[in-house]
Chain A
């Protein structure tokens, strides 16, 4: 049986931990709000772009733009979005595992893969498993992702794709549903697969294109890639904060439970000590009689 002092010490340390987890939860909640707002604010832009794209692509004939053409199954690039910091439940592990599974299963029969990882945790997780596939790691960009960031990554990806370094580009990230639910999502970035206009249920419109359609299309398509990456970055960031918030919430609750149990144990031990002392006094008094 641990002594009273030991139990008291443990209660103290659990209380300390709880304070930290509570504080982290608060911080995550505040950050979640901001991240969520940013993700929601970015949505109209992506949606509008998507509509315009589907209108454009519906009229696209055989001689498509390079970014639209399906190429062979050579090398594929997988962009994995994780966080730089841990303590957010299964957030990093889930996305990383999906990336590992996708590369190992290789359902579409690619010859080889390259892995671009955003966030330190994804790298730590995959380094020992499929470290030879990792070609690039970006750190410390998720927490304050701006459109500029996405633009730089987008440009890099598009130029690598245009040089035929890759035949396909995928992105894996945690899509934000709510603070508790995040879904690991796999999306194809390149070649671009525009949604058919029929799906959106709108009739296609004959536009006047200025300067001309090819020009408009070739300016829009790279934008599409950037926007997709930007959205994934924002969603991933919101998911991270959500995951951290719920992880820290349950950690705080576990700490509460633990403190309850330890307090009970402490009180029992204290009572036992008092009883023992009483018994000793009584039996001492008895023996004097």
Chain B
């Protein structure tokens, strides 16, 4: 059994990560899940959230959007719509997006079909700010 996990993260635009890591924490559909080497095969969808991985004593944070994660023989494949590492996030932009989403949510009623879209945008912005803060 290998003592490392191979983490591969891809979005439709590019391969974001391909690294050997020690530990991964991911925002799974039914709750946060931690992955260590030797995990059984698993396929789960991901929520908007923060994915953390540990390499030695260093921790890295990535903000991910909708996607899913597959574990297979110590290889973890993460397919997501968007992925932003903590040092790539433009905090000012995220804050602006947060402000916009909040404004829009105040103006919209719950039934409006844009409500859900804006709510998702709000969630994404919050996660981004949270992740950006952990440089």
| Max count, chain B CB within 10 A of own CB: residue among A45, A56, A230 | A45
- Evaluate contact between A207 and B13: CB separation under 8 angstroms: no
> In the complex the two chains form, is B28's CB within 8 Å of A41's CB?
no
B77 contacts which chain A residues (CB < 8 A)?
A: 48, 52
A59 CB → nearest B CB, Å: 11
- How many angstroms from the CA of A205 to the CA of B74 in the assembled complex? 13
- The contact of B44 among A150, A205, A210, A227, by CB within 8 Å, is A210
Q: List the B side residues contacting A170 at CB < 8 Å.
A: none
B42 close to A (CB within 8 Å): yes
Tell whether, in the assembled complex, residue B42 and residue A208 are in contact, meaning their CB atoms are under 8 Å apart. Answer: yes
Q: List 10 A-B contacts (CB under 8 A).
A: A41-B13, A48-B79, A150-B12, A205-B41, A206-B41, A210-B28, A210-B45, A216-B43, A216-B68, A219-B45
Asked, given contacts A48-B79, A210-B45, A216-B45, whether A205 binds B72 with beta carbons under 8 Å apart, the answer is yes
The answer on a CB contact under 8 Å between B79 and A49 is yes
Residue on A nearest B79 in the bound complex, by CB:
A48
**CB-nearest residue of chain B to A52:** B70
Say how far B77's CB is from chain A's closest CB, in angstroms: 6
Which of B12, B28, B68, B72 sits near A42, CB closer than 8 Å?
B12
Q: Which of A45, A211, A220 contacts B29 (CB 8 A)?
A: A211
B40 within 8 A of A: yes
Please measure, in the bound complex, the distance between the C-alpha atom of A21 and the C-alpha atom of B129, giving whole angstroms: 49
Chain B residues engaging chain A, CB cutoff 8 angstroms: 8, 10-15, 28-30, 33, 40-45, 68, 70, 72-73, 77, 79, 81
How far is A125 from B48 in the complex, measured between Cα atoms in Å? 44
A220 to B41, alpha carbons, bound, how many Å? 17
Residues of A with C-beta under 8 A to B11 = 45
Closest to B77 in A: A48
Do most interface residues of chain B lie in helix, strand or loop, or is the interface mixed? strand
Determine the chain A residues whose CB is within 8 A of the CB of B68 once the complex forms: 52, 216, 219-220
- Which residues of chain A have C-beta atoms less than 8 A from B43's C-beta? 52, 56, 207-210, 216
B13: contacting residue among A42, A49, A205, A219, CB under 8 A: A42
Complex: A45 Cα to B13 Cα, angstroms: 8
Q: Write the A205-229 contact mask toward B (1 if CB under 8 angstroms, else 0).
A: 1111111000110011000000100
Complex interface residues of chain A between 34 and 89 (CB less than 8 A to chain B): 38, 41-42, 44-45, 48-49, 52, 56
Please give me the residue from chain B that is nearest to A215 by CB atom. Answer: B45
Whether B42 pairs with A41 at a CB distance below 8 angstroms is: no
Structural contact, A45 and B70, CB atoms closer than 8 A: no
Distance of B43 from chain A, by nearest CB (Å): 4
Q: Which B residues are in CB contact (< 8 Å) with A215? A: 29, 45
CA distance A44 to B15 in the complex (A): 7
A45 touches B10 (CB 8 A): yes
A205-B72, A207-B43, A208-B42 given; name 4 further pairs at CB < 8 Å. A44-B15, A48-B8, A209-B42, A210-B33
Bound CA span A206–B45, Å: 16
Residues of A with C-beta under 8 A to B14? 41
The answer to whether B12 touches A147, judged by C-beta atoms less than 8 angstroms apart, is: yes
Cβ of B13 to closest chain A Cβ, rounded Å = 6
User: Within the assembled complex, what's the spacing in Å between the Cα atoms of A278 and B11?
Assistant: 78
